[in-house]
Amino acid sequence: MNQNQLHLSRTAAIQINNDSSQTLCNLIEVGQDGLQRQRRKICNNIQDLSNHKSRYHTGERICDMIVVGADGQQRPCRKVCKNAASLSVQKRTHRKHKPFDVGQDVRQ
């Protein structure tokens, strides 16, 4: 993805409908196929729009949760997630796993 596409993928224009309290998030995204698409998300109010933007228009995030590798050593996960919402899902997968004791024999 070049710099222009990256800029377009993070550009959001907000329009407020004067007839109601709904707000509209217009975002131009660049898909994996390289084509631009306009996505529209209707939010009930400004707070919903703010929450939507902070979850989905945050750009890439890297998971920094500590995991135990195949060699038994602790290390950061470092999985790249497309936004804050997918990072939250990724971190939840780590919390579901029970802590692993490095000294524990797993072949029991």
Quick: pLDDT tens for 2-48. 333 333 334 444 444 444 578 888 777 777 788 888 777 888 888 88
| pLDDT surpassing 90 at residue 99 | no
Contact 66, 75 (CB under 8 A): yes
Q: Kindly report the number of other CB atoms within 10 A of residue 87's CB atom.
A: 21
Query: What is d(CA 72, CA 106) in angstroms, rounded to the nearest whole number?
Result: 11
Q: What is the pTM of this model?
A: 0.51
Contact 74, 68 (CB under 8 A): yes
Quick: pLDDT tens for 50-94. 888 888 887 888 999 998 888 989 999 999 998 888 899 999 998
Domain boundaries, the chain: 3-57, 62-96
DSSP E strands: which ranges in 2-44? Answer: 12-16, 23-30, 36-43
